[in-house]
Structure formats: structure tokens, C-alpha cells
Chains A and B, each alone.
Chain A
Amino acid sequence: MIELSNLSIHFGTAVALRDANLVIERGDRLGVVGESGSGKTLLALCLMGMAPESARMTGQLRIDGQDMATASERDWQRLRSRRVAMVFQEPMAALNPLRRVGDTVMEPMVLHDGLTRSAARARALSLFEEVGIPDPDRRLRQFPHEMSGGQRQRVLIALALACNPMLLIADEPTTALDANVALRITDLLQRLARERQMALVFISHDLAAVARATEDIVVMYAGDMVEQGRTAEVLGTPAHPYTKGLLGARPDPGVAGRDAQGKRRRLPTIPGAVPPLQGLPQGCRFAGRCPVELPHCAAQRPAFVQSDAGRAAACHLLTEGRHD
């Protein structure tokens, strides 16, 4: 359904997304994880045809068999209205504060699908029910500020579903929400994807949320996809040193803060910080921060090594059979 092959995004001489390869089929639930500057949001914007003007795209991006890397804005508009939709981090910012949420949700149905107002209203009502908004009749008439953060995020999800997309991209959909609410939104997205046989791309820095919502995962670092595979396997037995570092740096609720001598346990860290795009190594971009770096890592790019069905990581240690 969606296929990226060697897709790169250039800003001048800087490569913000480097040779991304990815296949998404109907009903797939894919998590994209990584820290700031990993390129995960840029990847999402590419799938929406919303990459910044100054970006130059190379490689292939096929959606429904159509090559979208060279598509016009008009083609993208057609695609966005019926095939792909997006949910953003901050529901308040994404909703017009001066419009009733019902009007916002009904607008694309009238505009793109040519529904009458009453038909659109009926569909909006059933969407509100589907996304778990209680008392939908009253809620349709409310303004965004009259709703809680969780309710607003549900409205945005309803809006994204308005034209029955085959792909829903959720970019940090739970980051601005409290834990309780975040859990419920995560479960909702997962349920919707399953029930509608819709593909879900769930972008988040929150590994717990990604583990809960997705079946497959891509780990990104500084514009490179460094590891992909089944979510449970990648998070359970990470192969790439960055994935290992990321998981290790998460505080473990099961480990108490002090050891037997009463000394505080320090958390494992990844030393340093992500370098600016211009200062990235030619080879593996994690070189310089990697705890198991080899001499040629910074200069030579590691190939993506397939370990078993669908599981792959880009690291020299894997090709040289020295990984633990």
C-alpha cells in the first residue's frame, strides 16, 4: 500500500532523512520511535506530502501504486482527502477555537464527499460514538475550550476518520495528555486500526505507548532508520546499540534507587548529544556516541542486516558476527 525505497530528504547539503526503506500494508500498526532530531516527524510529513518547501526529496515514495515523490500538490490534496489522515500532538492547537467542533468535523465530509449537512451530521454523530465521546449530540455543538484534552484528541481522531482513510498517522498523539487519558487514547487508536483494517503509523518518543499500540516498529536516529522489526522483539531483544542505549536509559520502575551500600544507582546513559545535521558522520550516524564503535564505523555506512523474518538492523557489529 505504501512503499518507501531509499527515500531521502535533503535541506541544502544536509540530509535530514537518509535512505528510508519501509513497507506499510493495510491493517499494519507501525510505531516510529526516536528522540528529537531523529527525523520521525519529517517522515510523517513526507507521507502526508507536507514536507517543508525547502526540502528536496530523492528516492521513491509509492502510495497505492502511485509515485508520490514527484506528485503535484493537487495529487496530494486528492490523496489527503481520502487516503491518509493525521492526528497531531496538541489537540487545542489543531482545532479552530472559534468553531463548534461538529462544524470542524463535518467540513471535510461536505467539501470532499459532497454530503448534505444533515448527512454529514449523522456521520459525525456516529464517528463521535465510534471514538468514545459520550453524549455526542451535545458535544457536536461545543467549542474546543469546553472540552478536556482527552476529549479534544478524540474529536481530532474523529476528524481524521471523517473520510475513511486507509492510513492514519498519529504524531505524538499522547504526549500532551495525562497518563490515564494517554492510555485510553493509545488503546482507542489501536482498536480503530484493527476494526477498520486501517494502517496506523504511531510516532512517539514514548516507548511504553508504542509497545502498547503497535505490532511493528522502526527505530530512528538522526535521520537514519537503525532498526526495524516486530515491536515486542525489538524492544525485548534490541540489536542496534542505539536501541539498546535508548531502552537502557529509561528509568526502570522495578529497580529501586539505592544499592545495598545505600549508594544511588546511576542510570545507564548514551554519552553526548545528537550532533547538528551538518556535523554528522558519513558512515553510521551513531558513531561518536556508540559504546561498541569499531574504527571504520564513522566512515563506512553499515548495511541493513536481516536477522530473521522482518527483523533488521544497520550496524557493522552485526555483519561481523560480533554482536552479543
Chain B
Amino acid sequence: MTDAPLLEVRNLTRRYKLPRQSLLRAPPVLTALENASFSLHAGETLGVVGESGSGKSTLARLIMAFERPDAGAVLFRGRDLHGLGGQELRSLRRDFQMVFQDPFGSLNPRRRVGWSIAEPLRANGETEDIPRRIAEALEQVGLHAADAGKYPHEFSGGQRQRIAIARAIVTRPALLVADEAVSALDVSVQAQILNLLMDLQDDLGLGMVFISHDLAVVGSICDRVLVLQHGQTLESGAAADVLRSPEHPYTKTLLTAAGVRP
């Protein structure tokens, strides 16, 4: 761990205009995320916990610079992502990548998985060594180099999520944002993917923002936790502390929902 954080999120706020209900009144505004702040070092994992409408996916999109905040800043290695020009941002993109929930939806069913894995490389205009890098990424996620020639439907759900992770790490990023990356998987497969993410983090020194509605999953992989509800940060702190003695009643509910014994 170095002293300078890999990622710093400062007072991030995002509002969406809702459909106008009356011609005479201004359209209502939904505050999807308000004043979210945290910092993340290389090799560290921050868990973002919340349910639908909590603002966790908005946070992911802002970190990935898919959209702009209304206030606040996202600093990646000290540089404000939303203050960068298009060209600068594009060249930086290889350093932060994202894994989504539904691997079937995010892989093109008509393309061989090798093609999908190479997508971020092509987006960066990289042309060298592509087959070797695809093979390397596949092996890093526990698949075989030969799997590059197969189609997504030939794989199980867990394997498809491995492919999605291979695509995310093929550019050798420093930051990985995982949005409900294990939520669609069966318990035993989920454990395999969580272990894989931990292995990759140890090997590559990745910083990770791990977004999930499941507090138990978050507790198993994260160093620190941020609990969101309706865009507000309810509580944040070391994962062990938040799980052992949650301060907010809402966190307690999440914990009850995650436990075998109520």
C-alpha cells in the first residue's frame, strides 16, 4: 500500500430530473447520490452495500466516468477524471475497468469469447500481441487459452463471469469496479468467483470497488464498507466493525437478511 490513494471520491452528488408533472412547475429532481466520499488504495477493496435505488450503480457509473456528477470529484491517481479532455480520459481508461452482474448480457453471443475479451484492447487502439494477451487473461481467471475460440453459450454461468473478468483485466488495470458481479451466481459458484477476485487482487495489486446488495458477500471480500440508502451514506468503516456492530438499523436489517439464523 502506498500513501497516495489510487482512487479518491470527494463529496460526489448526482441528481436526475424526473418527468415534468405539471407545465407550471419545475420537474421534480431525484437525488440519486449525495455527498459520497471515500478513498481507496491499491490492493484494497471497498464494499458498497445498498439495495435498488440506493445510488450504488450511480456511484459506479460516476467512478467509471460514464456520466458526470453534479457536484464533487473523482480523483484517479490524483487526477480529476471529470476534468479531463476526451483524449486524456480515453488513454486513462485502460487503468480502470468494470465487471457487470449479468455476464450473458455483457458478452456478445455471436462473437467468440476471445473477440469479446480483446474489446478493451481495441478500444485503446492496441494492436500488438493480442492473441497472447487474451490467452494470458483467460489463464489468469482459471480458463484455458483454447477457450478463446468458443462462444459464450458453450460456458456455464460461472465460467461466463470468469470471461467477463478476463475482459476486465486484459488491459492490466489498477482499479476494478465490480457491480453485483456475483449476484446472479449459485452459492458454490459465487464462492469460486469471490476467491478468484481475491487471487487476482493479490497477484495484480488491484484496487477494487465491490458493489453488492449482500452484506455477507461484501464482508467476505472487503476491507472497508460503505452503506448507502436512497443516495445517502448511512455508515462507513472497517468491514469487520460494520458487520460486528452495525450502527444503523438499516444495516442491521441487511445483516439479518444475510444470516442463516435470524
Q: Which residues of A contact B (CB under 8 A)?
A: 35-36, 178-180, 182-183, 205, 207-208, 211-212, 235, 245-247, 249-258, 263-270, 273
Q: B243 interface residue, CB < 8 Å from A?
A: yes
Q: Most chain-A Cβ atoms within 10 A of its Cβ — which of B240, B244, B257, B262?
A: B257
Task: Report, nearest first, the 10 A-B pairs whose CB atoms are least far apart.
Answer: A179-B257, A251-B220, A35-B186, A256-B240, A178-B51, A249-B191, A267-B191, A270-B188, A253-B216, A251-B216
- The stretch from B103-111, B112-120, B248-256 touching chain A is B248-256
Chain B 170-192: CB-based contact to A (< 8 A → 1; otherwise 0): 00000000000000001111111
- The stretch from B73-81, B128-136, B144-152, B194-202 touching chain A is B194-202
Closest residue of chain A to B221 (Cβ to Cβ) is A257
Closest residue of chain B to A178 (Cβ to Cβ) is B51
Q: B102 interface residue, CB < 8 Å from A?
A: no
Closest residue of chain B to A33 (Cβ to Cβ) is B187
Knowing A256-B219, A256-B240 are in contact, say whether A208-B260 is a contact too (CB < 8 A): yes
Known: A36-B157, A179-B253, A211-B262. 9 other contacts (CB 8 A): A35-B187, A179-B257, A179-B258, A207-B260, A208-B258, A249-B191, A250-B187, A252-B216, A255-B219
Q: Which of B190, B191, B201, B257 contacts A183 (CB 8 A)?
A: B257
- Chain B nearest CB from A89 CB (Å) reads 13
- Chain A nearest CB from B253 CB (Å) reads 5
Q: B261 interface residue, CB < 8 Å from A?
A: yes
Contacts of A269 in B (CB 8 A): 188, 191-192, 195
Knowing A179-B257, A208-B260, A269-B191 are in contact, say whether A251-B219 is a contact too (CB < 8 A): yes
Q: Which of A180, A212, A254, A263 contacts B253 (CB 8 A)?
A: A180
Closest residue of chain B to A232 (Cβ to Cβ) is B261
The answer for the CA separation of A223 and B221 in the assembled complex, in Å, is 32
The answer for the CA separation of A58 and B240 in the assembled complex, in Å, is 51
Closest residue of chain A to B187 (Cβ to Cβ) is A249
Q: Is the CB of A252 within 8 A of B220?
A: yes
Q: Is the CB of A183 within 8 A of B219?
A: no
Q: Is the CB of B194 within 8 A of A251?
A: yes
Knowing A178-B213, A264-B202, A269-B195 are in contact, say whether A250-B260 is a contact too (CB < 8 A): yes
Contacts of A255 in B (CB 8 A): 219-220
Q: Most chain-B Cβ atoms within 10 A of its Cβ — which of A235, A250, A253, A255?
A: A253
Q: Which of B159, B191, B257 contacts A251 (CB 8 A)?
A: B191
Closest residue of chain A to B243 (Cβ to Cβ) is A253
Q: B223 interface residue, CB < 8 Å from A?
A: yes
- Chain B nearest CB from A305 CB (Å) reads 24
The answer for the CA separation of A121 and B135 in the assembled complex, in Å, is 64
Contacts of B159 in A (CB 8 A): 273
